[in-house]
Amino acid sequence: MPTQPLTALKPRKTPSQSRSRVTVDAIYEATIQVLLSRGMAGLTTTGVAERAGVSVGTMYQYFPNKQSLVYALNERFLTTLAERVEATCAQMQGRSIAEAAEALVDTYWAAKTERPELTRALYRSVAELETDALLRAFAARVDKATTDMFCRASDFRSPDAGEVNLLLTTVIYGSVRNAFERGLGQEEIAGLKSGLKAMCRAYLEAVGN
């Protein structure tokens, strides 16, 4: 898989005029629609343009290639997610680690659950993209926020904040994803979520926090 230069995935022009803004938003939304209705394999440039009500040419003025469409979607989604996590982290400053962890579970879960179909589609879309860099950047950003939160927790005394952070975030993010992949009902989801929190709590108590 040849690695593409990142620039090739970035939108071509930042829409400053209002007309452009509308166009770009329409394309974003159309990409989501097509992704949901026809899946990643059925996502064609003409299909997206048609759904967006613009010509292919117009679309290509804002997105240099097909990949950039999905890339932009992921970028948007991840940015929002990161902001939410950061907000939670800021809010949880000085609380106990357990409380912080539980809040993280809630925030992450909520963000992913808001548009479950989109979440699922994006999870899948990632597989075909050169999104490694994007994901890594996102992970770094979020890790920084959560590590900070854990460090400044009222009861923090672990020698290595990074280790705690890695464990908790891996378990939380991974569990959320896996929960998504099983087709679970409301009740099961609720049980899973509280179970996950309980696990985090129990672990932190056990290691002395």
The mark string for 37-66 relative to its own copies (x by CB under 8 A, - otherwise) is -xxxxx------------------------
The mark string for 147-176 relative to its own copies (x by CB under 8 A, - otherwise) is ----------------x--xx--xx-xxxx
Q: Is 56 in the site for DNA (CB under 7 A)?
A: yes
Q: Is 19 in the site for DNA (CB under 7 A)?
A: yes
Q: Give the residue among 136, 145, 137 at the shortest CA–CA distance from 108.
A: 145
Q: Kindly tell me which of 27 and 105 has the beta carbon lying closer to its own copies.
A: 105
**Binder to its own copies among 60, 118, 148, 203 (CB under 8 A)?**
203
Interacting span for DNA (CB under 7 A) from 14-22, 126-134, 156-164, 195-203 = 14-22
Which residue type sits at 14?
Answer: T
Cβ burial, residue 163 (10 Å; 0-12/13-18/19+): exposed
d(CA 147, CA 153): 10
Are residues 146 and 116 in contact, defined by beta-carbon separation less than 8 angstroms?
no
At CA 21, angle to CA 18 and CA 27, rounded to 5? Answer: 145
Q: Is 46 in the site for DNA (CB under 7 A)?
A: yes
d(CA 137, CA 135): 5
Residues engaged in binding DNA (CB under 7 A): 13, 17, 19-20, 23, 42-47, 54-58, 60-62, 64-67
